Structure 1
Amino acid sequence: MTGPLIVIAAGGTGGHMFPAQALAEAMLAQGWRVQLSTDARGARYTGGFPDAVEIRQVQSATFARGGILAKLAAPFRILAGGAAARRAMLADRPAVVVGFGGYPSVPALIAAVMLKLPKVIHEQNGVLGRVNRLFAARVDAVACGTWPTDLPKGVEGVHTGNPVRSAILAQAGAPYAMPDTLSVLVIGGSQGARILSDVVPAALAALPDTLRARLHVTQQARAEDGARVTQAYTEHNIPHTVSPFFTDVPERLAKAQLVISRAGASSVADISVVGRPSILIPYAAATNDHQTANARGLVAAGAAHVLAERDVTPETLAAHITAILGNPDTAAKMARAAAEHGRPDATDRLVAVIHSLLPPHLTKDTPNV
């Protein structure tokens, strides 16, 4: 395949990889060659990437995991990864490098700085992650998925929104209705969330009988939590589907009347673009409480309720569920507000930022934003 090369560097979580996938899809459609630079952990999340994307595993490390020896070795592993990335870029020079955060993005960004290549970082959350904060003053543009974003002094950001996968875009603004069977979708990030397994089944069981009898629940739960979540729904005669991972989340979002979720940036973006009422429970241990920052826009728009972890009990969650599903007009208004808050053109906006750094002959297909 011919065409200019873009290197996309991303860490190993859905929050980094899903917007990276969206950009890869867009750049391929414009005739670019696309390389994804990630580590072995990130490579596990590449199943949804188009086959044309070249996956390059780099050596990286994190200072947040492992014992003292692993932490001492981390800078040497990162530098080795940066040197390998530089050699690869010298052999096949990219026109631009885009980082989406996470330690696996460091080697490619180090190489881009050393080679003085055009470079962009995209921050999904309302607070910059460690890696993006490190590079914010060293790149040519900082694209922000959540607005406002807490940026370092002297750094300006461009609000693009968070790119979503083509499968989410296919469900953008899906019609919202309140049928006899009410679908509740419970998602907790790429591996589920224990607090949702602890609280949601009991909250749904505590709903008024007339509401509970109409439910069908789809819940993402960790493998070790799946049996007890399934048992709880079975005991209360609530139809359910429980799994550690769903490959068809976009379709399930479109069918849902209510989403109960963590407030990860990709989850918030998906909920917004499809347009669904939600109850968001930010991860309390998230760095700088960035999930609470992610939720603010939907809450301010009247599209979501937010509950701090410390305030979540079956009783409080049941009251919020009842307030939404028990009031069809309220639910419909929240769905419309979510869709109006969504940015289905976020990928186009990010592509436009990238093209603004490139010579004209590479930007003939720049989207209008």
Structure 2
Amino acid sequence: MSRPPLLVIAAGGTGGHMFPAQALAEEMLARGWRVRLSTDPRGARYAGGFPEAVERGVTSSGTFAQGSPISRATTPFTVAAGIAKTVMAMRRDRPACVAGFGGYPALPATAAATFLRIPRLIHEQNGVLGRVNRIFAPRVDRVACGVWPTALPKESKGEFVGNPVRASVLAQAGATYLCPETGPIEILVMGGSQGAGSFARLVPPALEQIPDALRQRLRLSQQVRPEDMDRVRAVYDGLGLDADLRGFFDDVPERLARASLVISRAGAGSISDITVVGRPAILIPYPSAADDHQAANAAGLVEAGGAFMIREEELTPEGLAGHITAILSDPEGASAMAAASHAHGRPEATQHLAGLVEELAQQGRAE
């Protein structure tokens, strides 16, 4: 009896790479495939959420952009050793397909698949290719794009797939949107470590400047760093604002479903969650993001009419207050933004990505 086909997933480094990789692993296991995760020792630390049925292959890799001059000088040798080890492993147990998710831990397996001419794809979470994905985009059979548009080399074959989201987000997909003309209105402010500090400075004075009648109806959920908590709480208490302030929300999907407006950074994962649920958003890209990729992430949703984008260097409390007031004072317009956001979402991203894996594997068998 023949063994099930093998998918090698090459990923590591951050949750942005590992979460969609994990979603694909779960789907391919459900489809009867074997799955092996190829990563480096750093990436292996982020693999705790992967199913036990996923094999782990830990291979040396390295970054050319960080570390001491000595470590950067030895990186080519480290990466070459990792590629050689991976080539031998793939010759012993040849994958039907290799899926790379970017980051330097994905480099050895993606390079080995290219050398062995194994069907392969890469998934790019952001609107600008990361360094490793930039190398391989012209050399793979398909570039699965998490946001659209994504800037790609001319030789690349790109396809808008979306970013796989958690099951808890899918459970809220297309939740009924409400922006009532009377009664409570909920706002969710989420920024993580790259947004909480800036939002703690900007959101409180913005809410001070919105019309009194609107502010009295607001219920606010905001992520706030511990060092900012007392100051922000004092402002909201002084305004009589109903505010739930926490360092971390473990129920973001439910809060998204209740929200009439989301204020957020423009990370690929955040935008995917917002659009799968379908909520109007004010997006404030992280200004230090590599290659300004958060602005690229936001571009498609803004063009679709589901969000406004404000550059942080252009952001003022007065400007933010104006956007909040304009959206929440126009229930019909806010509902149209919610519908545009939901239309831009890709709740089927995991299934689409799994379908690409099977398609490329089938083409490889036919050759």
**TM-score of the superposed pair, with normalisation by structure 1:** 0.87
| Structure 1 residue 131, shift from structure 2 partner | 0.8
284, 305, 312: which is aligned to 2:287?
Answer: 284
Q: Is the 8 A contact 1:19 1:266 kept in 2?
A: no
The C-alpha deviation readout for 1:283-312, integer Å capped at 9, x for no partner, is: 222233222222122111211011011111
Q: Is the 8 A contact 1:14 1:45 kept in 2?
A: yes
Q: Is the 8 A contact 1:253 1:259 kept in 2?
A: yes
Return the letter of the residue paired with 2:72: K
Q: How does 1:286-365 map to 2 (within 5 A)?
A: 286-359=289-362
Q: How does 1:189-338 map to 2 (within 5 A)?
A: 189=192, 192-222=195-225, 224-226=227-229, 228-338=231-341
Larger fraction in helix: 2
Q: What is the CA–CA distance in structure 2 between the aligned matches of 1:356 and 1:298, rounded to whole Å? A: 29
Q: Is the 8 A contact 1:136 1:152 kept in 2?
A: yes
Q: Give the equivalent residue in structure 2 for 1:153.
A: 154
Q: Give the equivalent residue in structure 2 for 1:366.
A: none
Q: What is the CA–CA distance in structure 2 between the aligned matches of 1:7 and 1:153, rounded to whole Å? A: 26
3-state DSSP class of the match of 2:291? helix
| Structure 1 residue 132, shift from structure 2 partner | 0.5
| Structure 1 residue 351, shift from structure 2 partner | 1.9
Change (3 A) 1:315 1:98: same
Return the letter of the residue paired with 1:274: V
Gaps of 5+ in 1: 364-369
| Structure 1 residue 230, shift from structure 2 partner | 4.3
Q: What is the CA–CA distance in structure 1 between the aligned matches of 2:258 and 2:269, rounded to whole Å? A: 18
Q: What is the CA–CA distance in structure 2 between the aligned matches of 1:50 and 1:280, rounded to whole Å? A: 33
3-state DSSP class of the match of 1:218? strand
Q: Give the equivalent residue in structure 1 for 2:11.
A: 10
| Structure 1 residue 280, shift from structure 2 partner | 0.5
Q: What is the CA–CA distance in structure 1 between the aligned matches of 2:363 and 2:57, rounded to whole Å? A: 28
Q: Give the equivalent residue in structure 2 for 1:28.
A: 29
Which deviates more, 285-294 or 42-51?
A: 42-51
| Structure 1 residue 3, shift from structure 2 partner | 3.0
| Structure 1 residue 225, shift from structure 2 partner | 4.5
Gaps of 5+ in 2: none
RMSD value, Cα: 2.7
Q: What is the CA–CA distance in structure 2 between the aligned matches of 1:314 and 1:57, rounded to whole Å? A: 48
Change (3 A) 1:58 1:361: closer
| Structure 1 residue 222, shift from structure 2 partner | 4.5
Q: Give the equivalent residue in structure 2 for 1:114.
A: 115
Q: What is the CA–CA distance in structure 1 between the aligned matches of 2:188 and 2:57, rounded to whole Å? A: 34
Q: What is the CA–CA distance in structure 1 between the aligned matches of 2:83 and 2:249, rounded to whole Å? A: 34
Q: Is the 8 A contact 1:122 1:144 kept in 2?
A: yes
Return the letter of the residue paired with 2:156: V
Q: Percent identity?
A: 58
